[in-house]
Structure 1
Amino acid sequence: MLRRLTIRDFVIVDRLELEFESGFGALTGETGAGKSILLDALGLALGGRADAGAVRTGRDKADIAAEFELPTSGGLADWLTTQDLPADEGMVILRRVVEAGGRSRAWINGVPVTQAQLRDAGDWLADIHGQHAHHALLRGDSQRALLDCHAGATVLAADVAARFRVWQQLAELRRAAEHDSAASERERELLVWQIGELQDLSFDADEWAAINAEHSRLAHAAGLMDGADEALVVLGEGDAAVTSQLRHINVRVGAMADLDPGLTDVLELLSGAAIQADEALHALRRYRDRLDLDPQRLGEIERRIERVTDMSRKHRLAPEALPDLLEEWTSKLDELVARADPARLAEQESGARADYEAAAQRLSAVRRPAADALSREITEAMQTLAMAGGQFAAALESCAPAVHGLESIEFRVAANPSQPLRPLAKVASGGELSRIGLAIQVMTSRDSATPTLIFDEVDVGIGGGVAEIVGKLLHRLGLERQVLCVTHLPQVAACADWQWNIAKSQRGGEVVSAVTPLDGDGRVEEIARMLGGVNITETTRRHAAEMLGADRVAQT
């Protein structure tokens, strides 16, 4: 669950550090006070999209950090381990910084991460239902995703989609092989000839470096021999050889050092020089013995270099890249050979289709009972949401094989007993859609392992007794996990376990948003404000106290 949210310079929030409790919490306040801004800040910390408008006017950056308890289930702990993002003391800290220029950075547990990693972690920790979530329910893809989540079939649905794509790719290859066989044959023949040329060359990058070094040595053999001979004469083979003179001087200075120890350092230097000169002399003799004029070998190497150079010039690339070109052509030829056999591709396509259909049938078998259960649950919820006699159905209709499976999914509703079931998008009024949407969100939220659920004014379009029922639904949900709800309805707020008031104020010529946790009397005043508006009377306060007292009794 969410434990702490720290916000710095975000929109109209200057500095806030909020400590959250478990259960159902209500966030209330005047319109425009910044209630939804808090959830927007949390959304950024969870990996939402960022832009420069998030930064408070006149500030360099916005900084948001959210601290969560590490869920004991759901797989986040394993994910953090694989990403090398260990959680200390069972806590997960998500941080997001958005700069005034629009650039953003992210951290998990103090380690820099990508926005995608932050979003992945956020998906384990919190689920935000926004103000327009009801309208998303009108889309077929959203309805299908909700049903699959309710059925626990999200992974299976992704597997079906992957198998469908494999099948379609093989079908496309098979069709291409049937229609382009002549062109493919010409391309294969050209590749076979080009590959043969490179294979005959039998060239690799290591050889290229070696033959260039050998060519340089052989091409300059005469000069190297002359230079070695001259150095040998000076070092040890002439009348005034350096090694002989160093040995003579070494003996003379040694005798002098016996008389004057101050020459000891000079003697050591001369001894070292004599030793190094002798080693250089022996090494140079070995080098000279290996040097030889070999015009035949030099010619062989030059012809080899010319052949490699001609081949690289032909294909317009460096000689070192020829082995990579051979590998690329070989892979392409293998692909063309595979595509050149329509019968083989048809067999692979048939196998991929069978794999897809088997997975899709398993998905269908899971979806059907889940659709029946969801239909019953939402229908029951409608009876308490001022839609007595109404009916909801998650209808499955067989369709041609598709990426989403073997059936289409459509949410249908009858608002009263006299109406037939019809698509949700065509029959639900704004108020009905809000009530049905809220029921669907509450029911399907139970299927998620996410420990924190956030509802941002999802109760728009309802009121009176229906609002009280919605509040009780959210309170029951709060018994299982942490629930946060931004609401304007006193009936919903009165059902909360705890309540905060969000208000705007002027500070130093700037508008800022502040959050106040409410105690018992504070909640009475806030509920009374929500009931009565600007002028709060004692009657309104008594009504607010009664609402809070009645809800406390009902919830216990």
Structure 2
Amino acid sequence: MLCQLSINNFAIVRFLELDFKAGMTTITGETGAGKSIAIDALGLCLGNRSDANTVRPGASKTEVSARFTLHDVPQAKRWLEDNDLDNEEDCILRRTINSDGRSRAYINGNPVPITQLKAIGQLLIGIHGQHAHHAMLKSEHQLTLLDSYANHKLLIDTVQASYQRTKQAENDLKSLELAQHERISRKQLLQYQVEELDEFNLAEGEFVEIEQEHKRLANGTELIESCQAGLALLSEDEEVNIESLLNKVIHLADNLQSVDDKLAPVANMLNEALILIQESSGEIEDYLSRLELDPEHFAYLEKRLSSAMQLARKHHVNPEDLSTYHTQLKAELFDLCDDETKLGEVRQALTAHREAYLVHAQKLSQSRTRYAKELDKLVTQSIHQLNMPKGQFKIAVNFNPEMHNSLGCDQVEFLVTTNPGQPLQPIAKVASGGELSRIGLGVQVITAKKVSTPTLIFDEVDVGISGPTAAVVGRMLRSLGESTQVFCVTHLPQVAGNGHQHMFVNKFNKAGQTETTMQNLDKEQRINELARLLGGDAITENTLANARELLQ
């Protein structure tokens, strides 16, 4: 619960430090005194928007901090732990706004973004404003109120997750279908290109081999003549050749070696040279024996080489890269064919997701219908107490499978009749301003009992209510305060008298500046304030007596 609020230089507040207790705290004050100013300041700690006008004139910055105890708020403790912001004791939210409009936020002394203030604030405080009953005229707000009462968050989370999966499948299908025409055109081109390259069937590295063999056959005559001339020089010329000349030199070297063994290395080198010459001759002879000048094979090579170069030019690649390019085209064609398969799979997945979504949405709708019946009875009883004895309240939950959104397929409508014999009609068409206030207040109080928020603020929600009805409202809020910390800004003495505590807001001028203060009232001060609310500025014995009765 909220146990302390400190306000520095906020609007017309110079400094306030307020301690709060459990139960129902009522806040009153003269018109224009700023009864809601503490709530507005607290809103800064909850992540509400701020600007430079927030800062009290003459001050450099506004600072507001709120301290909460977390004994009965496990979800808030868990959130703090998950975000590494837990201090194992209370939770302190702090906000500063400089005169230039810059704002900073802190949780337990740690700087945080405003979004985190909002996230933890939703777990700590629920605020019901004086215009909340007008929001109740909107179908989406009616749905929110019903879901708040039903508290079936797990069902809503399941529907939302299912809806997101369905939307993702729809987006995937849309993307595939939008690209389908382009994909078909590309697929047709690839099929033609791949078939053409398949028919040519150039293997990896084949072009280089063809090019080399073609070059060899194109120069075949020159190769034969050169090889034959080389053999003649090496060994086959009858008049003079290298082999015979080497043999003569070797014979001379052997004779010299016998005279001087220092020439032995020369003889060895000459013998090695003879062996190399003989091996070279053998290699050339072997090459010549295998060298065939086949005109048909040469024509085949020339045709294949020419075709490869033409295809390479056609596809704008180097001839030696044609085989790799062929492989790439086949892979792309396979992927496009796989996209066709994927398109069918996505269609099937979308159908499955839609069916699953409808199953989850139906379960959520069934839960809403069950809790709507429960809420019908409670709100009807509440408006009977609020001086509408013949009134009847009903929530219509209509399941529409064609209406898909993240909150299910339900159209929720609040129906009411305020007079006997009149049919149930939408609340916006039937209820007057005062009736709407009472119905709205009844719904807010009943739904507030079901939520886990430890602190609830009702900011002048009793506008349009008076007399005996106001006393009932006061008792309803006090009853709520038995289990939940309740703050109620009010102008009605019947409501203010039901509070466990009472705070008074006062505005005054000091040294030419306006200031607002808040103070806890003791019993006598409280009687005087209730008397003022009952009779205006003229407090009489009668109004004092009435005030004492209210406190009893």
Is the TM value for this pair above 0.5?
yes
Deviation at 1:418, TM superposition (A): 2.3
Deviation at 1:349, TM superposition (A): 0.5
Post-superposition Cα deviations, 1:350-403, rounded to whole Å, max 9, x if no partner, equal: 111122112112211211110100111000001010111101111111212411
Do structure 1's residue 443 and structure 2's residue 446 form an aligned pair? yes
Taking a change above 3 Å as real, the CA distance of residues 191 and 529 of structure 1, as seen in their structure-2 partners, is farther
Q: Where do residues 535-550 of structure 1 align in structure 2 (5 Å cutoff)?
A: 535-549=538-552
Give the gaps of 5 or more residues in structure 2: 194-203, 205-330
Q: Distance in 2 between matches of 1:59 and 1:101?
A: 11
Taking a change above 3 Å as real, the CA distance of residues 95 and 182 of structure 1, as seen in their structure-2 partners, is same
Partner of 1:59: 59
CA contact 1:74–1:449 (8 Å) conserved in 2: no
Q: Distance in 2 between matches of 1:500 and 1:110?
A: 29
Question: Which residue of 376, 400, 411 corresponds with 2:414?
Answer: 411
Partner of 2:516: 513
Q: Distance in 1 between matches of 2:451 and 2:439?
A: 19
Partner of 1:83: 83
Q: Distance in 1 between matches of 2:335 and 2:458?
A: 55
Deviation at 1:189, TM superposition (A): 9.7
Partner of 1:357: 358
Do structure 1's residue 528 and structure 2's residue 527 form an aligned pair? no
Deviation at 1:472, TM superposition (A): 0.2
Partner of 1:92: 91
Partner of 1:491: 494
CA contact 2:365–2:397 (8 Å) conserved in 1: no
Do structure 1's residue 131 and structure 2's residue 130 form an aligned pair? yes
CA contact 2:73–2:454 (8 Å) conserved in 1: no
Q: Distance in 2 between matches of 1:141 and 1:94?
A: 31
Stretches of 4+ moved more than 6 A in 1?
187-193, 333-336
Partner of 1:458: 461
CA contact 2:55–2:62 (8 Å) conserved in 1: yes
Partner amino acid for 2:160?
A: A
Q: Where do residues 331-410 of structure 1 align in structure 2 (5 Å cutoff)?
A: 338=339, 341-399=342-400, 400-403=402-405, 404-410=407-413
Taking a change above 3 Å as real, the CA distance of residues 335 and 109 of structure 1, as seen in their structure-2 partners, is farther
CA contact 1:184–1:336 (8 Å) conserved in 2: no
Partner of 1:429: 432
Give the gaps of 5 or more residues in structure 1: 194-199, 201-329, 550-556
Post-superposition Cα deviations, 1:64-96, rounded to whole Å, max 9, x if no partner, equal: 0000001434411111111010134x2100001
CA contact 1:5–1:17 (8 Å) conserved in 2: yes
Greater gyration radius: 2
Q: Distance in 1 between matches of 2:341 and 2:504?
A: 71
Taking a change above 3 Å as real, the CA distance of residues 451 and 527 of structure 1, as seen in their structure-2 partners, is same
Q: Distance in 2 between matches of 1:428 and 1:34?
A: 30
Partner of 1:102: 101
Report the 3-state secondary structure (helix = DSSP H, G, I; strand = E; otherwise coil) of the residue aligned with 1:419.
Answer: coil
Q: Distance in 2 between matches of 1:440 and 1:339?
A: 54
Q: Distance in 2 between matches of 1:427 and 1:443?
A: 21
Partner amino acid for 1:481?
A: T
Q: Distance in 2 between matches of 1:34 and 1:187?
A: 71
Deviation at 1:191, TM superposition (A): 12
Greater Cα shift, 344-353 or 522-531? 344-353
Taking a change above 3 Å as real, the CA distance of residues 354 and 528 of structure 1, as seen in their structure-2 partners, is same
CA contact 1:25–1:498 (8 Å) conserved in 2: yes
Deviation at 1:511, TM superposition (A): 0.3
CA contact 1:173–1:339 (8 Å) conserved in 2: no
Partner amino acid for 1:443?
A: I
CA contact 1:184–1:340 (8 Å) conserved in 2: no
Report the 3-state secondary structure (helix = DSSP H, G, I; strand = E; otherwise coil) of the residue aligned with 1:524.
Answer: helix
Deviation at 1:514, TM superposition (A): 0.8
Q: Distance in 1 between matches of 2:181 and 2:174?
A: 13
Number of residues of Structure 1 aligned to a counterpart in Structure 2: 412
Do structure 1's residue 500 and structure 2's residue 503 form an aligned pair? yes
CA contact 1:181–1:340 (8 Å) conserved in 2: no
Deviation at 1:53, TM superposition (A): 2.1
CA contact 2:187–2:336 (8 Å) conserved in 1: no
Deviation at 1:169, TM superposition (A): 3.4
Partner of 2:144: 145
CA contact 1:130–1:455 (8 Å) conserved in 2: yes
CA contact 2:462–2:490 (8 Å) conserved in 1: yes
Report the 3-state secondary structure (helix = DSSP H, G, I; strand = E; otherwise coil) of the residue aligned with 2:450.
Answer: coil
CA contact 2:365–2:399 (8 Å) conserved in 1: no
Partner of 2:180: 181
Give the superposed CA RMSD.
Answer: 2.5
Post-superposition Cα deviations, 1:304-346, rounded to whole Å, max 9, x if no partner, equal: xxxxxxxxxxxxxxxxxxxxxxxxxx99x98995577331111
Report the 3-state secondary structure (helix = DSSP H, G, I; strand = E; otherwise coil) of the residue aligned with 1:75.
Answer: helix
Do structure 1's residue 467 and structure 2's residue 470 form an aligned pair? yes
Normalization by structure 1: what TM-score? 0.70
Taking a change above 3 Å as real, the CA distance of residues 505 and 456 of structure 1, as seen in their structure-2 partners, is same
Q: Distance in 1 between matches of 2:118 and 2:380?
A: 34
Identity, % of aligned positions? 43
Taking a change above 3 Å as real, the CA distance of residues 166 and 541 of structure 1, as seen in their structure-2 partners, is same
Partner of 2:164: 165
Greater Cα shift, 7-16 or 169-178? 169-178
Q: Distance in 2 between matches of 1:140 and 1:58?
A: 46
Taking a change above 3 Å as real, the CA distance of residues 510 and 353 of structure 1, as seen in their structure-2 partners, is same
CA contact 1:338–1:345 (8 Å) conserved in 2: no
Q: Distance in 1 between matches of 2:58 and 2:170?
A: 58
Q: Where do residues 289-308 of structure 1 align in structure 2 (5 Å cutoff)?
A: none
Taking a change above 3 Å as real, the CA distance of residues 91 and 171 of structure 1, as seen in their structure-2 partners, is same
Q: Distance in 2 between matches of 1:519 and 1:477?
A: 22
Taking a change above 3 Å as real, the CA distance of residues 154 and 77 of structure 1, as seen in their structure-2 partners, is same
